[in-house]
């Protein structure tokens, strides 16, 4: 298969310094709202990158659930590969690929667990089947087949048949506090517009980068 000729021009529009808010989180929320309004699929989907103790990067797509307190929050099984790697190395990267808008946002920051109370508050808003699935799946563990997973789910449905499904002690939120956020807008002839916010002594500084 010949893929070297797959290309297109990025013509959705440019990005200038005057377009940007001084606060990158405010700017992110503006772009996120525009992504949602555009009707693209999974506008809150982001690539979460972590690094193992031996330096091996790993990536996966996760859904962003909150932007609050100048931070980005998602939820996961604390026994998963991503959570274990964060425990060993809290430096992570997030990437929002809004391809339909010719936009990307990259976030670099430090990750930490949410409190049990914060995690429980969100967990109780999830659909019941999603709550049960969190109990049924030991994320990233090796399983024999999907049948095993469905058997575990059936067991959890029986176990928690009466009353609310409690928060698993191995499941909760991850908060990413950013120190660098880059906004990328595709440009004609590969002359893309890139602006990077970096946190310096509590103040965000903005630099334009070559494409």
- Residue 190 designated active-site: yes
Q: Which of 128, 146, 190, 194 is catalytic?
A: 190
Distance of CA 207 to the CA centre of its chain: 24
Question: Is residue 105 within 8 Å of 183, Cβ to Cβ?
Answer: yes
Selection from 98, 75, 70, 97 nearest residue 86 by Cα: 75
Kindly tell me the number of DSSP H helices and DSSP E strands found in the chain: 5, 9
For CA atoms 149, 150, 152, 156, give the dihedral sign. Answer: positive
Categorise residue 42: left if φ over 0, alpha if ψ from -120 to 50, beta otherwise: left
Distance CA 184, CA 205 (A): 16
Indicate which residues carry an active-site annotation: 190
């Amino acid at each position: 298969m010949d893929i070297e000729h797959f290309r297109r021009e990025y013509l959705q529009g440019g990005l200038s310094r005057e377009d940007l808010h001084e606060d990158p989180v405010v700017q992110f929320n503006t772009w996120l709202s525009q992504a949602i309004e555009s009707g693209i699929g999974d506008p809150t989907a982001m690539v979460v990158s972590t690094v193992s103790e031996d330096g091996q990067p790993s990536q996966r797509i996760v859904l962003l659930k909150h932007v609050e307190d100048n931070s980005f929050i998602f939820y996961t099984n604390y026994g998963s590969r991503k959570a274990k790697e964060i425990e060993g190395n809290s430096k992570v990267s997030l990437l929002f690929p809004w391809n339909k808008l010719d936009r990307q946002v990259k976030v670099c920051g430090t990750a930490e667990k949410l409190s049990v109370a914060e995690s429980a508050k969100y967990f109780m808003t999830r659909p019941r089947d999603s709550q049960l699935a969190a109990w049924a799946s030991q994320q990233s563990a090796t399983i024999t087949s999907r049948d095993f997973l469905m058997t575990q789910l059936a067991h959890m449905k029986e176990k928690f048949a009466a009353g609310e499904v409690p928060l698993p002690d191995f499941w909760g939120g991850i908060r990413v506090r950013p120190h660098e956020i880059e906004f990328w807008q595709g440009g004609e002839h590969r002359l893309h517009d890139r602006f990077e916010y970096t946190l310096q002594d509590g103040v965000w500084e903005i630099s334009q980068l070559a494409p």
